Amino acid sequence: MKGDVAMKNSWNQYGDLIAFVGGRLIDGRGGPPLKEGAIVIRGKNIEAVGPSEAIQIPGQAKLFDVSGMTIMPGMTDMHVHLYWNGEPNLALHSYKESTAFRAVKAVAYIQRSLEAGFTTLRSGGEVGFLDVALRDAAELGIIWGSRVIASGYSISGTGGHADKFPPWLYRTDEVRLLADGPDECLKAVRNQIKMKVDWIKFHASGGVMDPFSNPQLQEYSDREMETIINEAHARGKLTFAHAQGAGGIRAAVRAGVDSIEHGFYLEDDIVEMMLRKGTYLVPTLVALRRIIDAGEKGGIPKESLEKAIPHGEAHVASFQKAYKAGIKICMGTDCGSPYNYHGDNAHELSLMVRNGMKEMDAIVACTKRAAEALRMQDKIGTLENGKWADVVVVEGDPLKDIQVLAEKTNIKLVMKEGKIYLNRLATQ
């Protein structure tokens, strides 16, 4: 049989024992690939992985010969927004659709990302806790798609980056989680945890696509950030911060944030502090690039474009500085932002390489390092015995041309936890 569709109705057609043999094997740990590797999956876990000649394939296994292709771990996008999909004017779009309708569309978005090889997505903030619902529905088998790491609402100050509506407009189905002052910040974190989020997201600086804030300016005070982070950590939750200007980044890192998102202005003292504290960076290069490239002709609001253009060069320079210094960089796209579509996640990898990152380091950024940032390295991120079988088979060699991961027709098979969700391979 020759497949060229997602395996929506036949995930278990091959049984619980599957093997891939003959392909170039990138295990996600950053070492040289195996020229001819093999991997055996039993149920949801990897049972054996290594050189083809060293791996004994059980006779009853369904065998996939992937000679000439690449076997690699499922990828992780560390920053997505599932209630948008590339609309140019996000503030205007927010007026048009109900939260319920966006939730329905978001099911399609996590499916597109999975079919692109992204088995895990960390949500960067959603309305109506729809990421929590998506996560739970997928875990129950009600829907299928990428694994969702939920953050619920992102916490913002009044007039800050997540406060999108002017004071004369209000939506009863989209309650904004605005918090001002330490007491409200404390309550906001506790409300998030009550709703069973996985991470706590807050805004340390202004941003580009809202009507009010300034990306250069610190949004929360040091004390407010400390309150958010300390309470989250005390409740066993990790934190990440939208942080673009140097002041907001510096304050968030100083307060102990676990991950910085965007990081337009990484000054030398910030880099040193991030290295000392082990802070992760998720640069999302593609988000700002798409906004600038689309411009007013593409429907980007003039005020947003005026905020975006001055920061393009600084953003790239900060990424390059962070990479050279050895900061722990994870791949994230800000998917959903203007012209930044779900399923096109791998274009971020191309930009990272174009701006100086080695191909293998880019792959590690969306596999092993992302898993470590999520504290899920015992389950995902690398192809190792005992881990969940998140596996992608790719036509071509991403170590020679990272762009092969961005061409969807090159993604030949996607497996998440031992189940095949996309199969374009010829099978016996």
- Superfamily of 5-74+382-423 according to CATH: Urease, subunit C, domain 1 (2.30.40.10)
Predicted local confidence at residue 15, as pLDDT: 77
Q: Tell me: the pLDDT tens digits for 383-412?
A: 999 999 999 999 999 999 999 999 999 999
The rounded distance, in Å, linking the Cα atoms of 135 and 143 is 9
Residue 280's nearest CA partner among 248, 245, 235, 326 is 326
| Pairing mode of beta strands 391-395, 411-416 | antiparallel
Residue 381's nearest CA partner among 190, 118, 13 is 118
Predicted local confidence at residue 291, as pLDDT: 96
Q: Please give the single-letter amino acid code of residue 194.
A: K
Predicted local confidence at residue 97, as pLDDT: 86
Predicted local confidence at residue 428, as pLDDT: 40
**Residues in CB range of 134: below 8 A, 6 or more apart:** 82, 103, 106, 107, 110, 143, 145, 148, 150
Predicted local confidence at residue 160, as pLDDT: 83
Predicted local confidence at residue 181, as pLDDT: 97
Residue 39's nearest CA partner among 29, 24, 114, 30 is 24
The domain defined by 75-345 folds into TIM Barrel (3.20.20)
Predicted local confidence at residue 174, as pLDDT: 61
Both structure tokens of 236:
């066993």
- Taking the whole predicted model, whether its pTM rises above 0.75 is answered as yes
User: Do residues 204 and 220 touch, judged by C-beta distance below 8 A?
Assistant: yes
Domain boundaries, the chain: 5-74+382-423, 75-345
Can you list the residues of the chain whose pLDDT is less than 50?
1-10, 428
